[in-house]
Amino acid sequence: MVLLPCHALPLTPSGAAVFAFSPFYAHPRPRIPSPLHVRCSACRTPWRAGAGRDAASWADDLCRAVPWKAAVSSALALTLSFTCFVGMVNAKAGVNKPELLPKEFTTVIDVAGFLSPGQENRLRQEIEDLEKETGYKLRVLAQNYPDTPGLAIKDFWQVDDQTIVFVADPTFGNIINFNVGALVDLDVPRNFWSRVSGKYGNMFYWKEKGEDASIEAAVMAVSRCLREPVGPSNCSEVL
């Protein structure tokens, strides 16, 4: 699955409380653009790389790491963050099921059946307009672990520093989870992602209004934020 009690932005953790259900949100500014900084909610042991390790073990170690920094390129940082984000949802093994991906490119993938065809079309149009206007690439995956393409979405969507991957999965209670690219992280306040998750992703909200309403509300909140001029007060409200 793509949720895990692990908070990392391409390379970023929050400086505030670690939310067990929304793995990714922005790093405080100012910061060095390309360091890797990973924070997990139930871990005490530093991550160690080792030759011969399989992908699941590598992701497992990464997602148990305490906060650390390394002078790595943003490309490597993004890869590490995304592995933590998608590879270790249940803290046991990564998931990589490309067979669950659609045959043609789409910005919205719903393998859980949360969205109607009309809702998917509205979200695709909103995402397309947002990308044309801002250059930011929002991508939405609705899933219910273990039915997820997992790591396969990284290549399918060509995830980069301008990409926000929004994974809607109710497995851990809060349905809204983000992985945010480094360039997006520079423009969006550190607490915006957790505020969206807290408002529209909490269990009371989506159980009352439905998973689809939670997903649509979160997409619109992100779209409004990314259209605001960058400054000290941008994205200060989650509407």
Domain presence at residue 234: no
> Which of helix, strand or coil describes residue 211?
helix
Contact 138, 164 (CB under 8 A): yes
Q: Is the dihedral of CA 169, 174, 176, 179 positive or negative?
A: negative
> Does 51 fall in a domain?
yes
In a domain, residue 232? The reply is no
- Residue pair 167/145 in contact (Cβ under 8 Å)? The answer is no
Largest CA distance in the chain: 48
Q: Is the per-residue pLDDT at 36 higher than 70? A: no
User: How many domains does the chain contain in total?
Assistant: 1
Mean pLDDT of all residues belonging to the chain: 73
Residue 82 pLDDT: 56
Mean pLDDT of 36-60: 40
With pLDDT > 90 as the criterion, what percentage of the chain qualifies? Answer: 53
Q: Could you tell me if residue 239 is inside a domain?
A: no
Token pair, residue 217, equals: 């509300």
Instruction: List the CATH number of the domain containing 114.
Output: 3.10.310.50
Length of the chain: 239
The letter for the amino acid at 79 is: T
| CA 161/CA 197 separation, integer angstroms | 21
Query: What is the per-residue pLDDT across 161-180, written as a single tens digit (0 to 9) for each?
Result: 999 999 999 998 999 999 99
User: Which among 56-60, 152-156, 233-237 has the top mean pLDDT?
Assistant: 152-156
Domain coverage including residue 110 = 6-227
Question: Binning pLDDT at 50, 70 and 90, where does residue 94 land?
Answer: low
Compare 211 and 6 and report the one with higher pLDDT. Answer: 211
